[in-house]
């Protein structure tokens, strides 16, 4: 590394800080930047600064949004403001939207309760969810956290927390994924699929 | 993708342009930038702009360097300016320097002759190498291009080009890599290792 000019070394270090980027990849990326036209490199640098300054959390659902005020989903008159889908991450909102089935709104927790990683309820956007429900107008809260231990625990915790408001609190269905093979389904999933079986 | 704020989408697109970065990785990197402190994001953006503006090619050896004038290797009085090692890429200079054995100087071609990729001799820093040799003071040129078809062809081409100057033109030795197993050596390498065998 000490054989590169300092500005190049510095750029390599910056790239190497990114998740999943090792020193070799960081070098390849830095060399790619050097080979870019100067204008393109400026656009890249500006995009980084822009993303940091332009994007903020929607004051209602805590999803990422740009510009002033609430996000496009929360301000959409065609969406059912009475149903709130609780997800752990903005990427999960994207996954739900891809399904083109859900017409309600969201609430992004920005994480899950995880004592192992020292993440407690106060580190998540749980208080704003409770306030949202408490202020009325919400009929149903759908827990759409991941079906793993931490996602489960967070969903259970929230369900208990929202119980006093006497609204419907639901959880996404478990079962065998569409297009998969029974043969490869794990025991826990099969058990849940059996439990959740429905009349044809 | 259309569910992200425009500034975030734009940043994802920028990351996705980098070599070896797909859309999923680009999203992960963009989210990482959002989670950075603003100061760190600015340092990252500045590093990109800096690398583009501060780094240029050494007028003598064409290696990457920073600041005015020739690079630290070319200006080093302790290095033998009579021996020039020809490499394809600045990364190859680093590899050679890591070996801590070579005390001469370099010449970086910035590529190899590759008719398949429409790279001819005029696209490389070959003219400046010939001028360097023609102006005298060079006793030996070591061809250190990669031992693949294009690297070979480039070395052969340069050797023929430099013949009239009656200097020594050498090529790095071929053979079995140190620490490897004979069992796994390919035929071509073994053949070259036999050809190049030396008295003990």
Section B162-168 average pLDDT: 93
Type and span of the H or E element at A15: helix A6-16
| Residue A175 DSSP SS3 | coil
- Return the residue in A15, A22, A28, A48 with the most chain B beta carbons within 10 A, the one to mutate for interface testing: A48
On whether the CB atoms of residues B59 and B108 are closer than 8 A, the answer is no
With bands split at pLDDT 50, 70 and 90, how would you rate the model's confidence at A2?
low
Give CA–CA dist A63/A55, Å, rounded: 10
The strand order across the sheet containing A80-87 reads A104-108, A80-87, A140-143, A168-171
Q: Tell me which residue of B130, B194, B121 sits closest to B167, measured CA to CA.
A: B130
pLDDT digits (tens, 9 = 90+) for B83-99: 999 999 998 998 888 88
Structure tokens at B87: 């490499």
**Are A64 and B8 a contacting pair at CB < 8 A?**
yes
Interchain contact B4–A (C-beta under 8 A): yes
Give which of A34, A47, A53, A105 to mutate to test B binding, by max B Cβ within 10 Å: A47
* CA separation for the pair A15, A70 (Å, rounded): 33
**Number of C-alpha atoms within 13 angstroms, CB side, residue B78?**
3
The 3-state secondary structure of chain B reads: CCCCCHHHHHHHHHHHCCCCCCHHHHHHHHHHHHHCCHHHHHHHHHHHHHHHHHEEECCCCCCEEECCCCCCCCCCCCCEEEEEEEECCHHHHHHHHHCCCCCEEEEECCCCCEHHHCECHHHCCCHHHHHHHHCCCCCEEEECCCCCHHHHHHHHHHHHHHHHHCCEEEECCCCCCCCCCHHHCCHHHHHHHHHCCCCC
The number of beta carbons lying within 10 Å of the beta carbon of residue B191 is 12
Question: Where is A25: in which H helix or E strand?
Answer: helix A23-35
Chain B hits for A68, Cβ within 8 Å: none
pLDDT at B199 over 90: no
For chain B, state the CA radius of gyration: 22
**pLDDT at residue number A68:** 80
User: Mutate which of B1, B2, B6, B7 to test chain A, going by most A C-beta atoms within 10 A?
Assistant: B7
Taking contacts as CB-CB distances below 8 angstroms, the residues of chain A near B8 are 51, 55, 64, 66
Mean predicted lDDT score pLDDT of chain B: 90
Which residues on B lie below 8 Å from A31 (Cβ)?
90-91
Interface of B with A in 74-103 (CB under 8 A): 90-91, 93-94, 97-98
Tokens coding A63: 């999803």
Contact B144, B87 (CB under 8 A): yes
Structure tokens at A112: 């899950």
Contact A89, A110 (CB under 8 A): yes
- Of the candidates B199, B48, B54, the one whose C-alpha atom is nearest the C-alpha of residue A47 is B48
From A36's Cα to the closest Cα of chain B, the distance in A is 8
A112 vs B192, higher pLDDT: A112
**pLDDT (0 to 100) of residue B1:** 39
Q: Which of residues 139-158 of A touch B (CB under 8 A)?
A: none
Given this model, what pLDDT does residue B194 score?
Answer: 86
Q: What's the pTM value of the predicted model, to 2 decimals?
A: 0.76
pLDDT at B69 over 80: yes
Q: Which of A7-21, A116-130, A186-200, B87-101 has the lowest mean pLDDT?
A: A186-200
Element at A149 (helix H, strand E): helix A149-162
User: Which helix (H) or strand (E) element contains residue A143?
Assistant: strand A140-143
Chain B 50-69, residues with CB within 8 Å of chain A CB atoms: 50-55, 64-67
Over the stretch A92-126, which tens digit does the pLDDT of each residue have? 998 888 888 899 999 999 999 999 999 999 999 99
CB contact under 8 Å between A7 and B32, yes or no, is no
Contact (Cβ atoms closer than 8 angstroms) between residue B44 and residue B33: yes
Complex ipTM more than 0.90, yes or no: no
List Cα–Cα distances, A50 to A15, B10, B52, B68, in angstroms: 18, 9, 19, 32
Q: Which domains, from first to last, does chain A contain?
A: 77-200 (3.40.1360.10)
Closest CA to A121 of A161, A94, A92: A161
Which secondary structure element, helix H or strand E, spans residue A52, and what is its range? helix A38-54
Q: Inter-axis angle of helices A6-16 and B38-54, to 10 degrees? A: 140
């Amino acid at each position: 590394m000490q054989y590169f000019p300092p500005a190049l070394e510095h750029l390599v270090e910056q790239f190497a800080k990114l998740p999943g980027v090792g020193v070799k990849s960081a070098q390849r990326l830095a060399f790619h930047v050097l080979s870019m036209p100067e204008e393109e490199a400026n656009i890249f640098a500006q995009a980084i600064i822009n993303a940091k300054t332009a994007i903020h959390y929607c004051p209602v659902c805590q999803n990422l949004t740009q510009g002033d005020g609430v996000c496009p989903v929360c301000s959409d008159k065609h969406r059912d403001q009475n149903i709130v889908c609780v997800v752990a991450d903005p990427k999960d909102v994207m996954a739900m939207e891809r399904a083109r089935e859900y017409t309600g709104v969201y609430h992004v927790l920005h994480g899950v309760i995880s004592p192992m990683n020292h993440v407690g309820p106060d580190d998540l956007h749980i208080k704003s969810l409770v306030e949202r429900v408490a202020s009325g107008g919400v009929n149903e809260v759908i827990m759409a956290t991941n079906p793993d231990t931490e996602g489960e625990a967070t969903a259970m915790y929230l369900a208990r927390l929202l119980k006093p408001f006497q609204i419907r609190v639901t959880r996404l269905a478990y079962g065998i994924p569409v297009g998969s093979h029974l043969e490869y389904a794990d025991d826990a999933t099969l058990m849940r699929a059996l439990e959740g079986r429905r009349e044809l």
